[in-house]
Structure 1
Amino acid sequence: MTTDIGAAAKQADAFLAGKKKADDTAFMLGRVLAEMGIRVGDRDSWPQLIGRASLSGEPSVFLGTVPLPTVRKLINALIYAESEQRSQRDQGHGA
């Protein structure tokens, strides 16, 4: 194998590994959203969620355009989770 072919093969392997990691992450995020009652693929809920990777293999997840009511639902869930976490942390220090 020449060095050009070897470099291209390594780049392809890195891309595929990154794409798999991104696809797995997008899948898990989709599952979490489904648990919250947010339907991926529904225009009114969350139209698009795609795993991607750069040629170097850096994984990323494209979230698409998310409707405002869905964003509000996520914000409320994150605020609630943060307040619960702080409450548990404060109770731990007071005990």
Structure 2
Amino acid sequence: MATDTEAAAQQADAFLAGKKKADDTAFMFGRVLAEMGVKVGDPDSWPQLVGRSSLSGEPSLFLGTVPLPTALKLIDALIYAESAQRRQRDQSHDA
């Protein structure tokens, strides 16, 4: 059985590991958005993107409030990606 100090240290380690994963994911997502011309930190584009972690170490992203034009841009990109995947899948089934 772990002591209270060991349990607190394990919880802190889990939190820090989760925070690192979340920060890495936020960084990569920010890079993807930049490739799309969306500027993270710009109030008119994407005001806030933050990596977070629960005390148990579960990583998560806080996306903030996204302006409608940016949300529509993302929706268009997702629809395009899905249709491209379907076309590719249909072409491989036809071959």
Q: How would you bin the TM-score normalised by the shorter chain?
A: over 0.9
DSSP 3-state at the match of 1:55: coil
Instruction: Give the C-alpha shift of residue 59 in structure 1.
Output: 0.2
TM-score computed with the length of structure 1 as normaliser:
0.98
Instruction: Give the C-alpha shift of residue 90 in structure 1.
Output: 0.1
In structure 2, the partner of 1:50 is 50
Q: Are 1:24 and 2:2 matched, yes or no?
A: no
DSSP 3-state at the match of 2:45: coil
Q: Which runs of 4+ in 1 moved over 6 A?
A: none
Partner amino acid, structure 1, of 2:46: W
Partner amino acid, structure 1, of 2:9: A
In structure 2, the partner of 1:64 is 64
CA distance in structure 1 between the partners assigned to 2:18 and 2:66 by the alignment? 24
In structure 1, the partner of 2:15 is 15
Question: Deviations 1:24-62 (Å, cap 9, x if unpaired)?
Answer: 000000000000000000000000000000000000000
> What percent identity do the matched residue pairs reach?
81
- Alignment coverage as a number of residue pairs: 94
DSSP 3-state at the match of 2:40: coil
CA distance in structure 1 between the partners assigned to 2:54 and 2:88 by the alignment? 39
In structure 1, runs of 5+ residues without a counterpart are: none
Compute the RMSD of aligned alpha carbons.
0.7
TM-score computed with the length of structure 2 as normaliser:
0.98
DSSP 3-state at the match of 1:56: coil
In structure 2, the partner of 1:79 is 79
Q: Are 1:92 and 2:81 matched, yes or no?
A: no
